[in-house]
A and B are shown apart, each in its own frame.
Chain A
Amino acid sequence: MLGAYLPILLLVIVAVLFGLVSIVLSSLIGQKKPSPVKLAPYESGCTPVGTARERFSIKFYLIAMLFILFDIEAVFLYPWAILYKKLGVFGLVEMGTFIVILFVGYIYVWKKGALEWE
């Protein structure tokens, strides 16, 4: 019974090994020329300055809001995806309608310029 999970176990082992091997190998073989910039904590390539509790632009809220909306609607896709074949054409049409409605919302958001950053 547990045999079914063997591939997952193998995947975990491979993943851990890959991580370990690359870190160990690069620290053994790689050159080391430390400088203050290189030792600074990595933050998406930006120079980490100022406090972390900085105020950020209201534009992030807009993107977050849109993300929540379109993201959550995906929950309806999962049950359909599992039963996709059993539901046949009817399910396909229903889901198509659903996606079209979402798409109308997307076009609206796009034309309104909510996706432009500047």
Chain B
Amino acid sequence: MDMITIPAVNMTPILPEIFLSVLAMALLLINVFIPSGQKSYLGYISFVGVVAAGVLVGAGWGAPVESFSGSVVQDNFATFFKIIFLLSAGLAILISDQYMEREGCNHGELYPLILFTVVGMMLMAAGTDLMTIFLGLEVMSVALYVLAGFNRANLKSNEAGLKYFLLGSFSTGFLLYGMALTYGATGTTRIAKIAAIVGQMTVPSANIMLVAGMLLMLTGFAFKVAAAPFHMWTPDVYEGAPTPMTAFMSAGPKAAGFAALLRIFLVALPTLQVEWSQLLWVLAVLTMTVGNITALRQDNIKRMLAYSSIAHAGYALVGFAAGNGTGAAGILFYMLSYTFMNIGAFAVIILIGKKGEANGTVMDFAGLGFKQPALAVAMSVFLFSLAGIPPTAGFIGKFYLFSSAVQKGYIWLAVIGVLNSAASVYYYLRVMVYMYMKEPTEDFEWTRITPPIALSLLISVAGTLIPGIVPSVILQFAEQAVKLI
């Protein structure tokens, strides 16, 4: 009997994923076997686990390894994104406890679900096979559907979960169909092989199956990163989901979507760049404009930040449309800084909020500058960065993204981007006007700041300011990361 030879399996590239999966399963069991009202300790364990996974991931920097017959890699590109995912998860864990306790839904399952989401995202960034990327995407999405609807007793959270589920799995259908057609056109699901086969085609754009596959995949991912015109779910889901999960969703999964998009389009389909670059041009303009214009008239702060997150996806798409090294590095840098500034802003929203998601409007920030100066300063830093005002990371990121468009010759795209960015200043600064120039409408009953939230705010402020003042360090890493693709 002839044995099937098993190809050499090197577990190094997926060691952090294995570690986090095992930890998540252990936490699930701990949660059911040691029942107690206090679930915070699960949060602490998972935070330590995320930090440990970060060390494991960081150790792989600069040491590319390929495994599982080339369906998973450990390269700098994946490592950079994995760090972003772990940061977003770590910060989300820190800001969860206080909120979940207030809303009465501190179920222990929260932390394993966050960890599973991270595992999915990490596989998306590390996957070099359409199959791996799809599996990563689904591990992430299925866990996220639950997280969006995590507050079972709250109707808004139910709605958010259900909407996210219906539209998310709808978009998965398109993505999969795209993958199927790409497989049909090239006969393989390995990204590297697709690139080789498409590279040999004389006129790849004449291959209808390939072009249709590309378009469908683009549609599917556009849903996931909330790009217009596929952004309809975003505001509702972000508004209804528990606030810490909104923060998490807007940072990690968006970055994961971009990681997969970059890997598929820049590595597998660079020969079709002329075609997809024009499409992305239109998508970027639409996304920025729709996001910013709708955000202008939002009073609910979570909804406002949801539209703002659509706009930010648009800025990142500018770099993607440029499709050069600067653009890709810009996306990496921007996703990292966006994680800090956005989760930071949501942490402040959690502190302002009251039980039952009350106090969630821009007006509720009135007088914060006098009552809680430190918190107001932190919020101002985040808002400055979101608006793209120096010396913050948001400014450097936008500068990098728009200059990549100029390099590519898309002057108009850069101009539209800058105009959009200017328009966005209005709604970010509106919050600051309330914080510093209006009197509080009612008696300000202060929520205590617990140590975890304080830590998350500190990390976020540092992460927003330091890359803004000394951008070269992070930019160097980002540039090294995109060299491989």
Contact = CB atoms under 8 A, between A and B. Distances in A.
B462 interface: no
Interface stretch (B1-9, B38-46, B265-273, B422-430): B1-9
Interface of A: 83, 85-88, 90, 101, 104, 107-108, 111-112
Nearest to B31: A108
A98 to B, nearest CB: 12
Interface in B22-37: 25, 28-29, 32-33
A107 to B, nearest CB: 6
B3 A86 contact: yes
Given A83-B4, A88-B3, A101-B25, 10 more contacts: A85-B1, A86-B2, A86-B4, A87-B6, A107-B29, A108-B28, A108-B29, A108-B32, A111-B32, A112-B32
A101 B3 CA distance: 27
Contacts of B29: 104, 107-108
Q: Which 3 residue pairs across A and B have the least CB separation, nearest first?
A: A111-B32, A86-B4, A104-B25
Contacts of A86: 1-4
20 contacts: A83-B4, A86-B1, A86-B2, A86-B3, A86-B4, A87-B3, A87-B4, A87-B6, A88-B3, A88-B4, A88-B6, A90-B6, A104-B28, A104-B29, A107-B32, A108-B28, A108-B29, A108-B32, A111-B32, A111-B33
Interface residues of B, number: 10
Interface string B321-341: 000000000000000000000
A93 B211 CA distance: 41
Interface in B264-311: none
Nearest to A103: B25
A32 to B, nearest CB: 57
A112 B25 CA distance: 14
Contacts of A85: 1
A95 B3 CA distance: 17
Nearest to B26: A104
A112 B112 CA distance: 15
Contacts of A101: 25
Contacts of B33: 111
A112 B28 CA distance: 11
A90 B1 CA distance: 16
B134 to A, nearest CB: 16
Contacts of A104: 25, 28-29
From A85, A101, A111, residue with most partner B Cβ within 10 Å: A111
A45 to B, nearest CB: 36
A25 to B, nearest CB: 49
Contacts of A83: 4
B21 to A, nearest CB: 8
A101 B26 CA distance: 11
A90 B2 CA distance: 15
Nearest to A86: B4
Contacts of B28: 104, 108
A87 B32 CA distance: 36
A25 B132 CA distance: 60
B93 to A, nearest CB: 20
Contacts of B6: 87-88, 90
A90 B4 CA distance: 10
A87 B4 CA distance: 6
Nearest to B32: A111
Nearest to B9: A90
B27 to A, nearest CB: 11
B468 to A, nearest CB: 43
A108 B2 CA distance: 40
Contacts of B2: 86
A85 B4 CA distance: 9
Nearest to B33: A111
A107 B2 CA distance: 38
A104 B25 CA distance: 7
Nearest to A88: B3
B436 to A, nearest CB: 49
B354 to A, nearest CB: 31
A86 B2 CA distance: 7
A86 B6 CA distance: 10
B22 to A, nearest CB: 10
Interface in B43-73: none
A81 B29 CA distance: 29
A75 B25 CA distance: 22
Contacts of A112: 32
A88 B4 CA distance: 8
Interface string B62-93: 00000000000000000000000000000000
A108 B31 CA distance: 9
B381 to A, nearest CB: 41
Nearest to A101: B25
B8 to A, nearest CB: 11
B115 to A, nearest CB: 13
A46 to B, nearest CB: 34
A110 B179 CA distance: 37
Nearest to A108: B28
A112 B107 CA distance: 12
Nearest to B21: A101
Nearest to A113: B32
B135 to A, nearest CB: 13
